[in-house]
Amino acid sequence: MRRILTILVEDRPGVLTRVSGLFSRRGYNIQNIAVGRTIEPGISRMTVSVEADPLTVEQVVKQLNKLVNVLKVSDLTEEASIGRELMLVKIKADPVKRSDIQQMVSTFRGKIIDVSPDSMIVEVTGDDEKLQAFTLMMQEFGIKEIVSTGQISLLRGSKTMRDVKA
């Protein structure tokens, strides 16, 4: 089962290495990881997606809480939260097919952010299912490159990560 963990950490050199190293030493593959600053100076937030059962995640959370510079770890999988991912896709774009690509991008509420003589770069945000569907539709035109941020998540309503039990 896919689990979404959020980790508040001190913004210090080596913290990302220690966190990812813990997963690697335990033999867990990180599906994606996104790190960014928070509104609190000196504190960053990591969003980590892993494929693991609840018992395994419980053990990982306990071990993460023991790491230096880790302030709080929460499993948002069961919580009411919103998750999004940003993806940039470079698509082969012959002049004849550009209007078809533009129509498909519009259907997925994406943005064309760059156009060159033989390609377009499209920005799309959404959940994993939406991004997979977009990728599938773009394959008929020819995908040259894809890059994505990994999922980021926030709890719904007035609840914050600090309100969630580990």
pLDDT at residue 59 in the model: 87
Q: Which residue has the tokens 């499993």?
A: 75
Dist CA 164 CA 153 (whole Å): 13
What are the per-10-residue average pLDDT scores of the chain (166 residues)?
A: 91 92 85 91 93 85 92 88 93 93 96 96 95 96 94 83 68
Pairing of the two strands 143-148 and 81-92: antiparallel
Dist CA 74 CA 43 (whole Å): 15
Reported pTM:
0.80
- Which residue ranges form the domains of the chain, and what is each CATH number? 2-79 (3.30.70.260), 82-152 (3.30.70.1150)
pLDDT at residue 165 in the model: 65
Find, among 47, 79, 85, 71, the residue nearest to 157 by Cα. Answer: 79
Tokens of 47: 């969003």
pLDDT at residue 166 in the model: 58
pLDDT at residue 117 in the model: 93
Count the neighbouring beta carbons within 10 Å of the beta carbon of residue 82.
11
